[in-house]
Chain A
Amino acid sequence: MIPSSPQPLALDREAIAQPSNPLGLDGIEFIEYASAKPQALGQVLEMMGFRPIARHRSREVTLYRQGGMNVIVNAHVPALPSGVLPADKPVLAAVALRVRDAAAAYAHALDKGAWAVPPRVEVMELNIPAIHGVGTSRIYFVDRYDKFSIYDVDFVPIPGVDPHPPAVAGLHFFGLVQYIGNDRSDDWTEFYRELLGFVPLPPEQRFGILPKGRILKSPCPAASTFYLQLIEPEASVLDVRSDEALQRIGLGTPDVLAAVAALGARGVAFVESRGVHTEGRGALTTTWMGSVSFELVHDARPAGAQEG
């Protein structure tokens, strides 16, 4: 809001993290990949500990889960805006945020200058409100996650599969890394602050082993909070393409080395180079299918936070 009184706002003077959470944001409900190779991507996800638990009623869409994390693989043709065919390289196409009231969150975002994503709903399917995010990605607002699940409506469970597979080494959503263009950190900081209530962390506060860029903290309660990491091109890169996109998922774990060992036993390889290598603070998986990687970050959640 614009101050109309002569009293200066604290926000104008210093970066005090505001505790407010106007939308009642409460973590990530699901993260969606779009891919023309859903089976290959599914194999990667299973290696990372996810299990396919349900299929969409009308589209080529599969729900994967481990612990409290839901990942959707969307191979449906109009998965991306303007009918772009899903590429061979999977892309992070959407993130769904849990909010107190999805309709109110959607209205708030549009009022502040978000772009509405036109709904593409089939008969008897849920109309989940969405706004445009970075690149071709979308941000969904979901408020039915407590007593009633959105997946009960649109998905059919895969028979004989445990619908609540446990998480490997306490893995949970920690955040998303977003690649942005030159001099774009301030733009995106304002976007997430105004529409969703994120606040930037001071530069000295960093997680994991890849500290570059600016980190925004969600206003969620501690048990469900997550982070966005905005990364501009290297200063030495002059002719960088200005494409912006969600780049990778960050997974929190109370014990990075145990998680690396457990995932390693499942076939996951981790980057070991001079700049990046596995340690207690974090680790980075190799990249599969040209675009899919996961970052592990040391993060002990309060008890019960990993439940779905």
Chain B
Amino acid sequence: MGHDSGNIGDFGMDTVSLAGPLEAKLQAVREAGFGQVMLSAGDLVGHPGGLQAAVAAVRASGLRVTGFQVLRDFEGLSGHLHAYKVDIAKSMLEMCAALGCRLLLVCSSTSVHATDEPAALAADLRKLAMLAVPMNIQIAYEALSWGRSVNQFPQAWELVCAADMPNLGLGLDAFHLLASGTPLDDLELLDAHKLFLVQLADFMWLELPSAEARIETARHFRVFPGEGVHSAALAALVTRLHALGYRGDYSFEVFNDDYRQMPLPTVAQRARRAAQWLGEDVLRRSVPLPNQMRLRR
């Protein structure tokens, strides 16, 4: 790392921001100075050498896997639909375990076939977490802003609390929080130890009034923190989370069609600028001492 290196160890990129083969993505992330990366199932199953080759590439990269995504539309189904989704969940967990990854991201259901009965949703999340126990995997449950019955993080948090499993926690995606206008004061509801992952992204317009606008923006027009018009809100968010005691990972969940047709190092450098802004200017993290030990909770 050069003379400008700050402490960006808390931040990682997500392969969704990058085009190209897995090895190229891992190299770009690594060369930009990141120590971790968030992976998608598509990175593994789409690898020309198959799952094992993909896992080997990830291990060889030296990058820690922040988390594995994403299990969709899991909770609230019944009968054969539930059985089908349990099978899908088990495949996701097996890939996650093969990676040596400790976290599976699950986003709230958008399915019209799912019930909105909170007890049933919580029971399904509890079962999913139970499936993950023998593999030592944590489940981070995230509210999609266009989720059917869970579309803001306080609702997701209520379900996490009701399900009451030690390896089930909340995944917080700043995009959805900003898009749905959830007040930052609601963060005070959270127990920082049950916040398993924070994903950060900005976007270019001020408001997203409809679900269609949120979906379109979320999937194509996100930018790195500091590049959009919500820098102040993002800075306030990470500051609040820090004050709350959150010391986990921040991953840049940036879906952007333009980035996916730019050279990987160019995109990774944009991510690095975002990490430096957040790490140095916002959180004012000090550079760690050599051989610093990370204390257990």
Contact = CB atoms under 8 A, between A and B. Distances in A.
Interface stretch (B23-31, B124-132, B169-177, B258-266): B124-132
A244 B297 CA distance: 20
A190 interface: yes
Contact of B130 (A114, A134, A186): A114
Interface in A182-196: 182-184, 186-191, 194-195
Contacts of B61: none
B76 to A, nearest CB: 13
B128 A183 contact: no
B167 interface: yes
A113 B127 contact: yes
Choose among A4, A113, A187, A244 the residue with the greatest number of B CB atoms under 10 Å from its CB. Answer: A113
A115 B296 contact: no
Contacts of B162: 2-3
Contacts of A115: 90, 131, 134
Contact of B134 (A134, A189, A238): A134
Interface in A91-142: 111-115, 132-134
A88 B127 CA distance: 36
Contacts, number: 57
Nearest to A133: B134
Given A2-B163, A4-B119, A190-B165, A112 B293 contact: no
Interface string A215-251: 0000000000000000000010010001010000000
Given A114-B130, A115-B90, A244 B136 contact: yes
Interface residues of A, number: 28
A132 B134 CA distance: 8
A24 interface: no
A187 B119 contact: no
A182 B119 contact: no
B129 A113 contact: yes
Contacts of A187: 133, 136, 166-167
A184 B138 CA distance: 11
Contact of A113 (B119, B126, B136, B297): B126
Contact of A182 (B133, B164, B293, B296): B296
| Majority secondary structure of chain A interface residues (helix, strand, loop or mixed) | loop
A183 B123 CA distance: 23
Given A115-B90, A235-B296, A244-B136, A190 B130 contact: yes
A184 to B, nearest CB: 7
Nearest to B93: A115
A242 B136 contact: yes
B239 to A, nearest CB: 27
B133 A2 contact: no
Contacts of A2: 118-119, 122-123, 126, 162-164
Nearest to B86: A113
Nearest to B89: A113
Interface string A135-174: 0000000000000000000000000000000000000000
Contacts of A190: 130, 133, 165-166
Nearest to A109: B130
Nearest to A184: B136
Contact of A188 (B127, B133, B297): B133
A181 interface: yes
Contact of A191 (B122, B128, B130, B297): B130
A1 B131 CA distance: 16
Contacts of A242: 136
Contacts of B122: 2
Choose among B90, B136, B163, B165 the residue with the greatest number of A CB atoms under 10 Å from its CB. Answer: B136
Contacts of A113: 126-131, 133
A188 B134 CA distance: 8
Contacts of B126: 2, 113, 194
A3 to B, nearest CB: 8
A35 B90 CA distance: 29
A235 B165 CA distance: 24
B123 A186 contact: no
Contacts of B296: 182-183, 235
B133 A183 contact: no
B55 to A, nearest CB: 15
Given A112-B127, A115-B131, A187-B136, 11 more contacts: A2-B123, A2-B163, A2-B164, A3-B162, A112-B130, A113-B131, A133-B134, A134-B134, A182-B296, A190-B133, A191-B130
Ordered nearest first, which 4 A-B pairs have the shortest CB separation? Answer: A113-B130, A186-B166, A113-B127, A4-B119
11 contacts: A2-B119, A2-B122, A4-B119, A113-B126, A113-B129, A113-B133, A182-B296, A187-B133, A187-B167, A194-B126, A195-B130
Interface of B: 90, 118-119, 122-123, 126-131, 133-134, 136, 162-167, 293, 296-297
